[in-house]
């Protein structure tokens, strides 16, 4: 699983069964991208939103009418079998992985419709954007890893140099002490000789 702070992206490793239907495969995709509801006993129809977004994108491309690709939050909630407010909570995840994008348009009666559409003309294009988002995160993490290795290496070198300098200082102090002891011994020896004379 991958967790991204602030934008918590959770990727799961779930495989489809043989001969999976479009519903089954859509559920797997939603789960693998971490877009399924995380609460137990929540909706199991979130994949219907993905399928409907794809269907609308196809219609919009075919008819060259981009506003047909847009779904309002109310419509998304209806397909998912949840309330509008709950759908808003789930939308954050869809937006964080760049699977969908927010869009607004003005109707002929000057009313504004705000909704969401796939972040590309097809599911594959939308997925490529989500994939890029995760790759960018991993690439950034890779640069942090390289930096960490460099810092750890430099800290070790610095620590080793500090230890060497301390060892040299200790050695110098010990040598000075020895030479002072010798001087003292010589002076004492010279003093004894003078006393004998």
Render 139-192 in DSSP notation, one character per residue.
HHHHHHHHHHHHHHHHHHHHHHHHHHHHHHHHHHHHHHHHHHHHHHHHHHHHHH
State residue 105 phi and psi, 5-degree precision.
-150, 155
pTM of the model: 0.70
pLDDT band at 99 (very low <50, low <70, confident <90, very high): very high
Q: Give me the pLDDT at residue 5, please.
A: 47
pLDDT band at 10 (very low <50, low <70, confident <90, very high): confident
- State the Cα–Cα distance between residues 111 and 103, nearest whole angstrom: 14
Q: Give me the pLDDT at residue 89, please.
A: 86
Residue 39 pLDDT more than 80? no
Q: What is the DSSP letter of 67?
A: G
Do 56 and 117 contact (CB within 8 A), yes or no?
yes
Burial class (CB in 10 A: 0-12, 13-18, 19+), 103: middle
pLDDT one-digit tens code per residue, 154-171: 998 888 888 888 888 888
Residue 3 pLDDT more than 90? no
């Amino acid at each position: 699983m991958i967790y991204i702070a602030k934008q918590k992206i959770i990727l799961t490793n779930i495989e489809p069964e043989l001969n999976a239907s479009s519903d089954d495969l859509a559920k797997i995709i939603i789960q693998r991208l971490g877009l399924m509801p995380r609460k137990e006993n929540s909706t199991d129809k979130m994949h219907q939103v993905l399928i409907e977004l794809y269907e609308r994108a196809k219609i919009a491309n075919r008819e060259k009418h981009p506003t047909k690709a847009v779904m309002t939050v109310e419509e998304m909630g209806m397909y998912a079998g949840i309330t509008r407010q709950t759908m808003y909570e789930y939308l954050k995840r869809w937006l964080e992985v760049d699977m969908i994008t927010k869009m607004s348009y003005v109707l002929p009666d000057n009313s504004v419709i705000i909704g969401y559409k796939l972040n590309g003309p097809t599911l594959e294009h939308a997925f490529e954007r989500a994939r890029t988002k995760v790759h960018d995160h991993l690439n950034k993490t890779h640069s942090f890893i390289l930096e960490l290795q460099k810092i750890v290496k430099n800290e070790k070198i610095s620590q080793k140099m500090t230890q060497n300098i301390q060892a040299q200082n200790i050695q110098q102090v010990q040598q000075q002490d020895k030479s002072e002891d010798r001087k003292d011994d010589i002076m004492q020896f010279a003093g004894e000789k003078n006393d004998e004379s």
